[in-house]
Amino acid sequence: MFTITIEDQNGQVADSFSFDHGSYTIGRLETCDVVLPSTSVSREHARIFIQNGRCYVEDMGSANGVIVDGQRVVQTRDLGTASQIRVGDYYLYLEYQRPTDRKKQDVLSTLFIDSGTEHHKLVRINDSFAGEEFSLSEQENTIGRTDDNFILLSDSSISRHHAVIHKMANLYMVEDRGSSNGTRLNGKALNSREELSSGDIVEFGNVEFVFLEGDRNINPHDYAVATGGTTGIANYATFAVLLIAGLALGGAVVFGIYTLAGDSDDAAVVDEDPLQTQIEKLIEQGKTQLDMGNWDNASASFDEAASLAHGRPEHEEARQLRDRVGLERQGAELLTEGDRLSEQGRHSEAREKLLQIPEGTRASERAASTLAHLDSTVSHSLRSEARRLLRRGDTEDLPEAYEKAAQAYAINADPDFEALLQEVEERLEDEGIEFEPVARR
């Protein structure tokens, strides 16, 4: 018997159903077997079905795709005995339970899921996909060119992991993740995390969006016309102002040169400490290379700066930055390896790699959303395996069930995980099996 538990946008269990045969459509239409009312869910988004005793999921041409254990489903995928399925804003957790009898159970009627709280959204503008909407329902709404992102943008100007929009209660913050073509907010390049306000224009590479409340609608074509007209006038006005300012500045410079030429005492400006200037220049060059991820060039600049600054305590910064390059390089390599393992579905191994990333590095910030997803996937998988062993009823399986329940609880200390831990402990006590109780958090 397979059971699917549905979590809504707020992480609350919305409903569950069990089945051992049949086919069930999931989508936004009321004619679907499971109705998920969200703009991030397509009209007919996916289909879950049983074939030869195995459970499969099929993407029915949805806009935002079907993600199973962090990987996008291309056509159909075998869900095994435990899987995490993402459909738009919702998470569906599949578990296989050994049946106690042979009665078949079906979804008897359409299952409606409450839409919950509306989230803000991004509406695409100024290209052939204008009007496409993405609901920002996650705490970490990742944006990029690969399937592991919450918002997938297939455009050559988009990096693999381009940007992220953080959701904190009613506050949304946008942050670039070291993308090649950058992220801009209202025309200004992002250099740090910035708060979003309704109506803001956000550009990821060449792809442009407007940030809006979830229940607000716009006509993207009207918006594009308004934006284009204003920009054109503003550009001409800016050019005229700059031209006048440039002429004035040029005259002032010429006048200054003639004035200074007559005063031999002030004509030459001497750098009082050329070594200090060179050290500062090398440090700035190193910081630029560090920002770009060019570890060897950054290390070379900081090494040279530290060598020149020998005996100058005020330049401890050069040595500290040189040490930081090593940590950043290590973090970037671990992040790449963790992403690779995650894409292969090797979630436990991927999680272990990401946990090794040094704290405070940029890689640790970028790994946060992936690590949160892996924590959820791995803990639910461990919980499912512990339940399977527990339901088998074999005494020799109880220690292994307790070990897996403890591992799941160590990752996720939610009440459901603690309740499972308590249940296994009670079974162990009933059977007279000694165990080391797990400390509660």
Q: Which residues pair with 88 in a beta bridge?
A: none
| pTM, full prediction | 0.40
* Residue 237 pLDDT: 46
3-state secondary structure of 413: coil
Question: Edge-to-edge, what's the strand order for the sheet holding 183-185?
Answer: 133-135, 121-125, 207-212, 201-204, 183-185, 188-189
* Residue 150 pLDDT: 83
How far is residue 258's CA from residue 269's CA, in Å, rounded to a whole number? 16
pLDDT digits (tens, 9 = 90+) for 49-100: 998 888 999 999 888 889 988 778 877 888 888 888 999 889 999 988 765 5
Tally Cβ neighbours within 10 Å of residue 348: 13
Pick from 388, 392, 410: nearest CA to 2 = 388
CA-derived radius of gyration, the chain: 29
- Stretches where the chain sits below pLDDT 70 are 98-118, 169, 224-273, 309-315, 343
* Residue 48 pLDDT: 94
* Residue 234 pLDDT: 43
By CB atoms closer than 10 A (0-12, 13-18, 19+), residue 256 is exposed
Question: Edge-to-edge, what's the strand order for the sheet holding 54-59?
Answer: 76-78, 54-59, 46-51, 23-27, 34-35, 111-112
**Kind and range of the H or E run holding 217:** none
